[in-house]
């Protein structure tokens, strides 16, 4: 069984989930007369997270980035905003290391590791929500939809009230550790590809798999892992397959084929061994139907129920991220209808780039919430 220590830790929290959620709700209730009781030792710490109020006067959409957007220095100055110190303090208890120092000071090689990177992006993105709320509370109050790329989907669900911050972070921890272990089983990776209109990505992947078979690799994996924008894909699989695609990029009508700095072939069958630990931990935490529209990476459609959330988050590990399809769902409009204000919350501006390539009109109302701030 993969990562028994991780699953064992999750089991240790099984009986404590409901008290933690109850405490979190008390903490986030505006009417409470005084501070909540401190949680017993070994319980997941409760942290308040901003949620939308669905103000009918205009509306906004929040996008949360995924792994690969991180950089050393993210989070600088954000602890001056409400709740951010509590988020990083809770993260240290849950993760067992100082996440804030890792984000601020690195070293970069440690921040790049899947086990560190995913929690770092998750917490920093939700810290950016606090910054946005401080600078523009209406952007939070009028939010009607959210989406997150890969691990960013957990941040979107927490913001939408579908998951508790601490429980979601613990699930992200389990997810990241399981994906790290899965990536160490065989040499694999991910390749960012921009193709010409005539490029056939699935056929290119088929050729790469046939090449792997000629090298004696049984059941080779090579498939589209991310649908980013028209003619923009990420292909993932065995390293030998990706090498083949790079070496034959011109023949395959690829304009660009660039390796991504990740440890494995995420969102492919090579992540199959990571699904069981994630499924088990998601069965132990409370999941609720999102209070606003949240769109799944698996099919680009909105989540409809708590069971749907659990099912899709597990399936996401071995399924391509259909980001382009999700953006079409979010921004579909009747002719003449106004577009919402869009905010990207987290490190990097990659989601803004994909929005521009998918819907230029919607991208004109895009803004990035920087995950650094003045210390003053």
Taking the C-alpha atoms of residue 317 and residue 92, their distance in angstroms, rounded to an integer, is 25
Residue keyed to tokens 């992947």 = 205
- Based on the fold, state whether residues 177 and 218 are members of the same structural domain: no
Q: In a 10 Å sphere around its CB, with 0-12 CB exposed, 13-18 middle and 19+ buried, how is residue 338 labelled? A: exposed
The count of domains in the chain is 2
Instruction: Reduce the DSSP state of residue 352 to 3 states and report it.
Output: helix
In a domain, 49, yes or no: no
- Based on the fold, state whether residues 91 and 151 are members of the same structural domain: yes
- Based on the fold, state whether residues 237 and 276 are members of the same structural domain: no
In a domain, 126, yes or no: yes
Residues whose CB falls within 8 Å of the CB of residue 332, separated by 6 or more in sequence, listed in order: none
Nearest CA to 343 out of 322, 371, 373, 316 is that of 371
- Based on the fold, state whether residues 78 and 173 are members of the same structural domain: yes
- pLDDT tens, residue by residue, 71-102: 999 999 999 999 999 999 999 999 999 999 99
Which of 227, 260, 293 lies at the terminal end of a domain, its last residue? 260
Check residue 8 and give its pLDDT.
42
- Based on the fold, state whether residues 173 and 317 are members of the same structural domain: yes
Domain encompassing residue 165: 56-183+268-369
Residue keyed to tokens 């597990």 = 314
- Based on the fold, state whether residues 221 and 318 are members of the same structural domain: no
> Is the pLDDT at 276 greater than 60, yes or no?
yes
In a domain, 360, yes or no: yes
Q: What is the DSSP string of 81-96?
A: STTHHHHHHHHHHHHS
Which residues are marked as active site? 150, 267
**Which residues of the chain form beta strands (DSSP E)?**
60-64, 143-148, 188-195, 222-229, 232-238, 254-259, 293-295, 321-322, 341-345, 366-369
- pLDDT tens, residue by residue, 157-210: 999 999 999 999 999 999 999 999 999 999 999 999 999 999 999 999 999 999
**Which value, in Å, is the radius of gyration of the alpha carbons in the chain?**
20
- Based on the fold, state whether residues 291 and 246 are members of the same structural domain: no
In a domain, 42, yes or no: no
- pLDDT tens, residue by residue, 21-62: 333 333 333 323 333 333 334 567 777 776 666 554 579 999
What is the average per-residue pLDDT within 296-323? 97
Check residue 54 and give its pLDDT.
56
Which of 260, 285, 309 lies at the terminal end of a domain, its last residue? 260
What is the average per-residue pLDDT within 255-268? 94
Q: In a 10 Å sphere around its CB, with 0-12 CB exposed, 13-18 middle and 19+ buried, how is residue 5 labelled? A: exposed
- Based on the fold, state whether residues 150 and 289 are members of the same structural domain: yes
- Based on the fold, state whether residues 198 and 250 are members of the same structural domain: yes
CB neighbours (10 Å) of residue 339? 17
Least confident of 39-48, 107-116, 134-143, 341-350: 39-48
- Based on the fold, state whether residues 89 and 161 are members of the same structural domain: yes
| DSSP state letter for 277 | H
- Based on the fold, state whether residues 250 and 283 are members of the same structural domain: no
- pLDDT tens, residue by residue, 225-245: 999 999 999 999 999 999 999
Q: What is the DSSP string of 148-213?
A: ESTTHHHHHHHHTTSB-HHHHHHHHHHHHHHHHHHHTSS-EEEEEEEE-TT--HHHHHHHHHHHHH
- Based on the fold, state whether residues 198 and 327 are members of the same structural domain: no
Query: What is the pLDDT confidence band of residue 376, given thresholds at 50, 70 and 90?
Result: low
In a domain, 34, yes or no: no
Nearest CA to 95 out of 164, 172, 22 is that of 172
């Amino acid at each position: 069984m993969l990562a028994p220590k991780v699953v064992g830790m999750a089991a240790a929290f099984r009986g404590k989930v409901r008290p933690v959620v109850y405490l979190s709700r008390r903490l986030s209730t505006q009417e409470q007369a005084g501070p909540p009781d401190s949680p017993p030792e070994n319980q997941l710490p409760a942290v308040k997270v901003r949620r939308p109020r669905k103000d009918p006067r205009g509306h906004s959409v929040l996008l949360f980035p995924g792994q690969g957007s991180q950089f050393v220095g993210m989070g600088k100055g954000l602890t001056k905003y409400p709740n951010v110190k509590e988020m990083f303090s809770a993260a240290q208890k849950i993760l067992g290391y100082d996440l804030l120092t890792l984000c601020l000071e690195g070293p970069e090689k440690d921040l790049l590791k899947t086990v560190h990177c995913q929690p770092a992006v998750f917490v920093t993105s939700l810290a950016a929500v606090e910054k946005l709320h401080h600078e523009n509370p209406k952007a939070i109050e009028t939010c009607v939809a959210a989406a997150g790329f890969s691990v960013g989907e957990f941040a979107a669900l927490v913001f939408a009230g579908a998951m508790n911050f601490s429980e979601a972070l613990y699930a992200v921890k389990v997810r990241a550790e399981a994906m790290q272990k899965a990536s160490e089983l065989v040499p694999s990776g991910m390749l960012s590809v921009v193709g010409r209109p005539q490029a056939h990505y699935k056929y290119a992947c088929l050729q790469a798999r046939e090449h792997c078979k000629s090298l004696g690799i049984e059941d080779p994996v090579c498939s589209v892992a991310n649908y980013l924008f028209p003619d923009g894909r990420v292909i993932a699989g065995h390293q030998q397959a990706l090498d083949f695609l790079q070496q034959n990029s011109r023949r395959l009508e690829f304009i660009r084929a660039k390796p991504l700095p990740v440890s494995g072939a995420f969102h492919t069958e090579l992540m199959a061994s990571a699904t069981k630990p994630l499924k088990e931990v998601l069965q132990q935490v409370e999941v609720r139907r999102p209070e606003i529209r949240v769109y799944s990476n698996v099919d680009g459609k909105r989540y409809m129920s708590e069971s749907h959330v659990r099912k899709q988050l597990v399936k996401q590990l071995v399924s391509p991220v259909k980001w382009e399809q999700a953006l079409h769902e979010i921004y579909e409009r009747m002719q003449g209808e106004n577009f919402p204000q869009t905010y990207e919350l987290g490190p990097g501006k990659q989601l803004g780039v994909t929005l521009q390539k998918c819907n230029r009109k919607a991208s004109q109302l895009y803004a990035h919430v920087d995950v650094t701030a003045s210390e003053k």
